[in-house]
Structure 1
Amino acid sequence: MAILNDLSFFNATPSFYPTAEVYVNGSSAPPSAPCTDWSPVPFTTVIPTVYSIICLVGTLANALAVFVLACGSNLRRTVADIFMLNLCVSDLLFLLSLPLWAVYYSQSYNWPFGRAACKICGALLNLNIYASIFFITSMSVDRYLAIVHPLRSLSARNPNIACLTCVLVWFLACACTAPTLALRDTIHIKELDVKACGIFYPDDTWFLGLLLLKIILGFLLPLFAISCCYCAIGRHLLACRDLMTTQMPLHPPNKSTKESHWKTERPPTPSVCPSSSEDRTPPGGRIERVLMTVAAVVLAFFICWFPFHCVTFLSILKNKGWLDGCSITWTINNLTPLTLCLGFSNSAINPVLYCFIGNHFRHRLGDLCKGLCACLKARREEHHQKRGSFSTRLSSFSRKLSDLKDLAIVEISDHP
């Protein structure tokens, strides 16, 4: 007996809930008594609409981020840029498959695109779940090293090591995705008269093992690492802000005592405090802005993925028989697609948090826009010059033709 459990496939009809078990020959196991008092959410219009919005916004944002990060000079590309570029590519690959999942929901969980597309889209879904979280964790560690240990981490934070880390992340994400790629397939559900795209687990061990892998390796461990990194960054920035506050005098010193005042009372400014020659924000305001960005990153990651993994954990408890009832069945069947929508929205939020908020990225985007405008202006002027040159040549040719015509008339009149 094989187990069918696709976290994006559930019945939308009020009179029947498909059981989780499907025999190898495709016939369903005897269904349990339906929960007639628990009406399912109508997903055939809600989910496709949400997926379309996420796909449109996320594709535009990630494509723009990839363009800016990829068009930059290799000499100017930082470790953070390399991680951002790979994160945006991961999100972009998955977002391009969202329209197919939107059609899947709009047709009441019927997959019309064939077996190969089912496997590819399912693989991209799981690959993005792992790869995006691993890249966010890598970026968090890089930010921790850059802010808290800027001098000691100089040798470790170089583009070559960052590229090697990205290769390892892609390999690990592909390894975690390989089992679901092999187990995912299409099957005709007679009760619903649809061809579902689902994951067929050989037994309970595969089912529990892969779900625990997704919860632990795809959420809990990255969340722990991200929280530790940003908590350390927050403590460090707060200490830096307190140091800046204590080292500034309440009243500006006189010119006569200015030099001696700073020599005796001003402690050395730590190099780990955030500073930018292009940022005119006061140091305290700059640190508060960094802290707000840090809090936004952690909250976005937690809010987007925590509900999905909670529902996944409920499905494990239900499978083990520790939880049961119509309320649990309704929660798993109906909240899983909604929590997946919330998780997928993180792909559209990532470029905003990691790219468009930063001054460095905005400056590079502005430089590219200025360069593009200058290029278009130069081509327009070149086009006008070519048109002017063509008009000049045409006018010269017309004058020569007119002179030849006048000369021929004169010759004819001289020699009738």
Structure 2
Amino acid sequence: MATLVIVNDSFGNVSIYNEVMYDDDDPASCHHVVPPAHQRRLIPAVFALIFLFGAVGNSLVLLVLCRRGPGRRTVASTYMVNLALSDLLFLLCLPFWAVQYALDYHWPFGAVMCKACSAALTLNLYASIFFITCMSADRYLAIVQPLRSQSCRRLCRARVVSGVAWLLAGCATVPALALRDTVHLGQDVTACVLRYPSDGWVTGLALSKTVVGFLLPLVVIVTCYCGIGRHLLAATTTTGGTGAVADARGDPDKASSGGGGGHSSGGANNVDHVLRMVVAVVLAFFLCWFPFHTVTLLDVLHHQGALRGCWVRRAVETLLPFTICLGFSNSAVNPFLYCFVGNHFREQLGGRWGSRWGSKESEAKAPARCPLHSHRFCAC
């Protein structure tokens, strides 16, 4: 038979749809799993840490990359800026989800914020992965095929690709806007839920999220970075490859058109550093999102009858909040992984702060000057 139940959805909130009860399921043990008390304290604390580190890291990325002159903007920095914007948009809504967990799924912010926060979350899920994929493909072209890619690696094309990525992510957000709503569940609890019109929506949206938002990007990312790794290993036997290495390390200002010019020992050290970063990029993406999509797929298989038993539902509802935390942490990891590991990015950030600090010291020691000089760093 089919019964109406409240379950965790794929973003750690609650959803309403018809859950199928099979003959080998025990109805007495298949009720909704009550979140343990430590979860109501632990999940908001983890969300707070993700918000803190992610907001600071992505803000610094935007501070450095957006204040560059027009002549220093690159294809790589364009994707980095859009990735940071996507992560920041999501992080601004993360405190609302933390409050919901702390209040045991009670949503006190109204229906409009329910839809808005859900849309921002879904938008980030797709947009961030799309831009990570774009960055991987761009680095592959810049390092492995620098001469052939000069005609297509242009700022105007990067902006068009970014616009298409935002558009696709926006289209994926439409179901969240349409289906998400607030529902009064009794006992003074008003939940922000997904109201699925039919069981087919549950399977369709979950599979599309896993395929489009994880599997296909993962294939592209792994393919690109495996190609980069093979190319860099081969380059150690010929030239230093410092230009390509600089771009792979997240230094978008340095040229990546060709290889030569480096000393063999320095080139080998740089290649070792880049290969470690390549492994870190793939592992970070995989480890952050694989558990979440695995639990989501487990829920779909149980809903379709491929996996039976109440243990499946209990496992999904218990593990899902923690896999969500792991997936959300990718928004805090991104700026450190893609930007701060680059020496040139750190030099720019340190140089900017150093110039500000040095200017303040010189102004303090200098005699009275025109007040306009004190604003020369703000007027960009």
Please tell me the residue identity of whatever aligns with 1:126: T
1:102 is matched with: 98
1:292 is matched with: 276
Task: Decide whether the 8 Å contact of 1:237 with 1:273 is kept in 2.
Answer: no
Task: Decide whether the 8 Å contact of 1:2 with 1:201 is kept in 2.
Answer: no
* Counterparts of 1:40 and 1:114, CA distance in 2: 23
* RMSD, aligned α-carbons: 2.8
1:230 and 2:225 equivalent? Answer: yes
* Counterparts of 2:166 and 2:333, CA distance in 1: 21
1:331 and 2:315 equivalent? Answer: yes
Check 1:8–1:151 CA distance in 2 against 1; reply closer, same or farther (3 A cut): closer
* Counterparts of 1:332 and 1:107, CA distance in 2: 21
Runs of 4+ in 1 over 6 A off after TM superposition: 1-4, 274-277
Shift of 1:180: 1.3
Check 1:66–1:271 CA distance in 2 against 1; reply closer, same or farther (3 A cut): closer
The unaligned stretches of length 5 or more in structure 2 are: 20-25, 241-255, 371-380
1:204 is matched with: 199
2:44 is matched with: 48
Check 1:158–1:198 CA distance in 2 against 1; reply closer, same or farther (3 A cut): same
Which structure has the greater CA radius of gyration? Answer: 1
2:375 is matched with: none
**DSSP 3-state at the match of 2:308:** coil
Please tell me the residue identity of whatever aligns with 1:365: L
Normalised by the size of structure 2, how large is the TM-score?
0.84
Q: Pick one of 76, 97, 102 that aligns with 2:72.
A: 76
Task: Decide whether the 8 Å contact of 1:180 with 1:199 is kept in 2.
Answer: yes
Please tell me the residue identity of whatever aligns with 1:370: G
* Counterparts of 1:7 and 1:127, CA distance in 2: 14
Q: Pick one of 318, 341, 362 that aligns with 1:357.
A: 341
1:121 and 2:96 equivalent? Answer: no
Give per-residue Cα distances to partners, 1:137-187, cap 9 Å, x unaligned.
Answer: 000000000000001101111111111111110000000111111110110
Q: Pick one of 357, 361, 368 that aligns with 1:385.
A: 368
* Counterparts of 2:81 and 2:177, CA distance in 1: 25
1:176 and 2:172 equivalent? Answer: yes
Shift of 1:363: 2.0
For residues 116-195 of structure 1, what are the structure 2 equivalents within 5 Å?
A: 116-190=112-186, 193-195=188-190
Normalised by the size of structure 1, how large is the TM-score?
0.77
Q: How many residues align?
A: 345
Give per-residue Cα distances to partners, 1:235-278, cap 9 Å, x unaligned.
Answer: 11111123359xxxxxxxxxxxxxxxxxxxxxxxx97448679x
Check 1:361–1:281 CA distance in 2 against 1; reply closer, same or farther (3 A cut): farther
* Counterparts of 1:194 and 1:145, CA distance in 2: 52
* Counterparts of 1:297 and 1:155, CA distance in 2: 27
Task: Decide whether the 8 Å contact of 2:13 with 2:193 is kept in 1.
Answer: no
Check 1:163–1:275 CA distance in 2 against 1; reply closer, same or farther (3 A cut): farther
1:307 is matched with: 291
Task: Decide whether the 8 Å contact of 1:118 with 1:197 is kept in 2.
Answer: yes
* Counterparts of 2:260 and 2:288, CA distance in 1: 29
Check 1:203–1:229 CA distance in 2 against 1; reply closer, same or farther (3 A cut): same
* Counterparts of 1:39 and 1:274, CA distance in 2: 61
Q: Pick one of 8, 11, 28 that aligns with 1:33.
A: 28
Q: Larger deviation: 109-118 or 2-11? A: 2-11
2:18 is matched with: 21
Q: Larger deviation: 368-377 or 85-94? A: 368-377
**DSSP 3-state at the match of 1:195:** strand
